[in-house]
Amino acid sequence: MRIILLGAPGAGKGTQAQYLMGKFGIPQISTGDMLRSAIKAGTEMGLAAKKVMDEGKLVSDDIIIGLVKERIAQDDCKDGFLLDGFPRTIPQADAMKDAGVSVDHVIEFDVPDDVIVDRMGGRRVHPASGRVYHVVYNPPKEEGKDDVTGEELIIRDDDKEETVRARLGIYHEQTQPLVDYYSAEAEAGNCAYHKLDGTQPVETVSAQLGELLG
């Protein structure tokens, strides 16, 4: 079960990744979370990545591809994985194909930009686990606290409206072409492609995913 979650920042990929991990027992590979933990650890790569991410831009394909290859070689990925936030560009998708990494399902989350801007203002995250909440649409049980550990939730530096708009621009320019890329892959019989209406409530989207991936 190898799944790619495709969609704009804020479309709900991380939220549904939580559901899919539980349902299928496969790990979520979030390149954003991997980069943020490198930033926190203060590694050289992390410092370089932070500068780029704070401007709302994409980290270089080479860095990301290296990270992902290393991660999917680990033992917990042998029955499958969920790629969340990767590939982000056509060269990244090509690199994955060249490395012989096939995928079973590509799931596109379709959400208009204005809905996304509204969502990002309310997003709260638990950095250690990657769990994600929304103050209105998906609130934690206790305000400001992670449901599982009770630790503090944070607001991501790149969730400011200005940065979100920059990220959406880059999504449309560099990542949305993957919609056609993977639709063509599906037509060639290399994977299944599913498009979901990501404006529906969290539970509705989860239910549709459960049905699709059965």
Ligand X SMILES: Nc1ncnc2c1ncn2[C@@H]1O[C@H](COP(=O)(O)OP(=O)(O)O)[C@@H](O)[C@H]1O
**Comparison of 22 and 184: residue with beta carbon closer to ligand X:** 22
Given 50, 119, 131, 167, the catalytic residue: 167
**Comparison of 31 and 93: residue with beta carbon closer to ligand X:** 31
213 is in an annotated binding site: no
**Comparison of 33 and 185: residue with beta carbon closer to ligand X:** 33
Concatenated DSSP letters of 11-50: SSHHHHHHHHHHHH---EEEHHHHHHHHHHHT-HHHHHHH
> Is-catalytic flag, 50?
no
User: Which residues of this protein are in contact with ligand X, per CB under 6 A?
Assistant: 7, 9-15, 119, 122-123, 132-134, 137-138, 198, 200-202, 205
CB of 187 to ligand X, least distance (A): 25
> Is-catalytic flag, 88?
yes
Given 88, 119, 124, 131, the catalytic residue: 88
Q: Give the span between the Cα atoms of 19 and 210, in whole angstroms.
A: 9
**Comparison of 8 and 95: residue with beta carbon closer to ligand X:** 8
> Is-catalytic flag, 124?
no
Residue among 80, 99, 108, 77 nearest 178 (CA): 108
As a three-state string, the secondary structure of 115-162 is: HHHHHHHCEEEECCCCEEEECCCECCCCCCECCCCCCECECCHHHCHH
Coil, strand or helix at 176: coil
**Comparison of 190 and 199: residue with beta carbon closer to ligand X:** 199
86 is in an annotated binding site: yes
Residue 167: enclosing H or E segment and its boundaries? helix 161-170
Contact between residue 164 and residue 10 where contact means Cβ atoms under 8 Å apart: yes
CB of 65 to ligand X, least distance (A): 20
> Is-catalytic flag, 123?
yes
Given 2, 13, 50, 131, the catalytic residue: 13
Given 97, 156, 160, 195, the catalytic residue: 156
Contact between residue 109 and residue 198 where contact means Cβ atoms under 8 Å apart: yes
Phi-psi region of 188 (alpha: psi -120 to 50; beta: other; left: phi over 0): alpha
Question: Tokens at residue 161, please?
Answer: 């409206």
Given 50, 71, 123, 124, the catalytic residue: 123
31 is in an annotated binding site: yes
67 is in an annotated binding site: no
150 is in an annotated binding site: no
Q: Give the span between the Cα atoms of 115 and 136, in whole angstroms.
A: 13
Which residue positions form the known binding site?
Answer: 10-15, 31, 36, 57-59, 85-88, 92, 123, 132-133, 156, 167, 200
Catalytic machinery residues? 13, 88, 123, 156, 167
